[in-house]
């Protein structure tokens, strides 16, 4: 009986698949954080530029 249970656990690939999906998700998260960190200064500068232009346009009126 114990041998059947151990053999069933050994043959099962569900755990391995879950680990693979977890590793893929971790890589996606790391890549996303890296990309957003790289782009953050550009986005901040763009928003500051837009804000100053809007403020300047509102001051003229």
Number of domains in the chain: 1
Please report the DSSP string for 9-25 in residue order.
HHH--HHHHHHHHHHHH
| Domain boundaries, position 22 | 2-60
What does the pLDDT read at residue 60?
80
Helix %, strand %, coil % of the chain (to 5):
95, 0, 5
Whole-prediction pTM: 0.53
pLDDT tens figures, 4-59:
776 766 666 666 788 889 999 999 999 999 999 999 999 999 999 999 999 999 98
Sequence-ordered list of residues with C-beta below 8 angstroms from that of 22, at least 6 positions apart, any chain: none
What does the pLDDT read at residue 54?
94
């Amino acid at each position: 009986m114990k041998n059947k249970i151990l053999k069933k656990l050994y043959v099962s690939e569900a755990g391995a698949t879950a680990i693979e999906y977890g590793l893929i998700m971790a890589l996606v998260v790391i890549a996303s954080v890296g990309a957003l960190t790289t782009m953050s200064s550009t986005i901040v500068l763009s928003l500051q530029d837009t804000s100053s232009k809007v403020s300047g346009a509102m001051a003229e009126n």
